[in-house]
Amino acid sequence: MRLHRRTLIGVALASAACFGLPAHAQDSWPSKPIKIVVPFAPGGTSDILARTLAERLQVALKQTVVIENKAGAGGVIGADSVAKAAPDGYTFLLGTIASHAINPVLQPKIPYDATKDFAPIMLLGSISNVLLVGADQPYKTVADLIAAAKSKPGTIAFGSAGTGSSQHMSGEAFKLLAGAQLTHVPYRGSAPAIQDLIGGQIPVSFETVTVALPHIQSGKVRALAVTSATRSRALPDVPTMQEAGVAGFDVVSWQAFYAPAGTPPSIIQRMHRELAAIIATPDVKSRMESLGLEHRPNTPEDFAEFGRKELVKWGRIVKEGNVKP
């Protein structure tokens, strides 16, 4: 009996070692502070969302949750730090379309594999971009802009929050699918881009609905179409690109939660359950809606499949559109 008991204990210890954790570590998780890396500067959508979730996770997990901002290279620096972190359930990433769909196909020497180096947990929310023109511009519809761009290829500029941003890639998708040659003007963020749009320095821009909304409401800019396949709740009267005649157009920016590859499945599932419960609460749901984020329930498997499709889509746009970093 004693020999049999020792054998069972040995098997249990070996099983725990397979996950790189000591015996019972998964059952006692978390036993120390958890870190969420935000690969962008404080104050943006990713940072606000991460801090909103961290505040609730601390209560749910009964453990300190800290935010670490590691900005740079369109999210690549912060994402790379998580890809190389220990898969022990104490480091997570608030990733985005930039870190896991656009830059992996746009940058020639990205230091991580967006699929193999991460364990997807949840697609937290998506937000549409919107095609904007200055209030004094003559374009009243998407068709007007396409006609003008085709009549004088390359003479109309569009601004974005920066090269590799979802706003930039919305413009590249527009050029490809509408056959309209616009010239990209990258800015260091959304604020200077939209200010130049308002001031008339650029005629056209792509921007997130959240950033654009107050300027649309004030009449300083005009919204021609949203980039998502369905209309935005925040702009229900603005048509989608597809409704405006650009077939196949479906671009959304998104925020998501990842762990390093190799993180034990039990921890992935626990974190997924906690996040789903937090997002379902009225106050967090309201907070996300104020950021323009729309959440649809999804499993880690659902999210993994979504991520694979995003890489294929953006790889095609980068290749066919000859987009350079």
pLDDT per residue as tens digits for the range 250-296 = 999 999 999 999 999 999 999 999 999 999 999 999 999 888 899 99
Question: 310 Cβ partners below 8 Å, 6+ apart?
Answer: 97, 100, 101
Mean pLDDT of 40-46: 84
Structure tokens at 139: 């374009």
Mean pLDDT of 162-180: 92
Q: How many domains is the chain partitioned into structurally?
A: 2
pLDDT-above-70 percentage for the chain: 92
Predicted local confidence at residue 312, as pLDDT? 95
Predicted local confidence at residue 99, as pLDDT? 93
**DSSP-assigned letters across all residues of 227-253:** SSSS--TT-TTSPBTTTTT-TT---EE
Residue 152 and residue 97 share a domain: no
Question: 154 Cβ partners below 8 Å, 6+ apart?
Answer: 181, 182, 183
Residue 80 forms part of a structural domain = yes
Q: Which range of residues forms the domain containing residue 140?
A: 128-226
The answer to whether the CB of 126 falls within 8 A of the CB of 252 is yes
**Angular region, 154: left φ>0, alpha ψ -120 to 50, beta rest:** left
Residue 300 forms part of a structural domain = yes
Residue 8 forms part of a structural domain = no
Q: Angle formed by the axes of helices 265-279 and 282-290, to 10°?
A: 80
Residues making up the chain, counted from first to last = 325
pLDDT band at residue 16, thresholds of 50, 70 and 90? very low
CA separation for the pair 123, 256 (Å, rounded):
4
What is the domain-level CATH number for residue 147?
Answer: 3.40.190.10
- What mean pLDDT, rounded, does the chain reach? 90
Residue 211 and residue 150 share a domain: yes
Instruction: Read off the amino acid at residue 220.
Output: K
Predicted local confidence at residue 305, as pLDDT? 97
- pLDDT at 176 exceeding the cut of 70: yes
Predicted local confidence at residue 237, as pLDDT? 96
Predicted local confidence at residue 27, as pLDDT? 66
Residue 26 and residue 122 share a domain: yes
Residue 94: HSE in the Cβ half-sphere, 13 Å Cα cutoff:
29
**Angular region, 179: left φ>0, alpha ψ -120 to 50, beta rest:** left
pLDDT-above-90 percentage for the chain: 78
Residue 193 and residue 107 share a domain: no
Predicted local confidence at residue 129, as pLDDT? 95
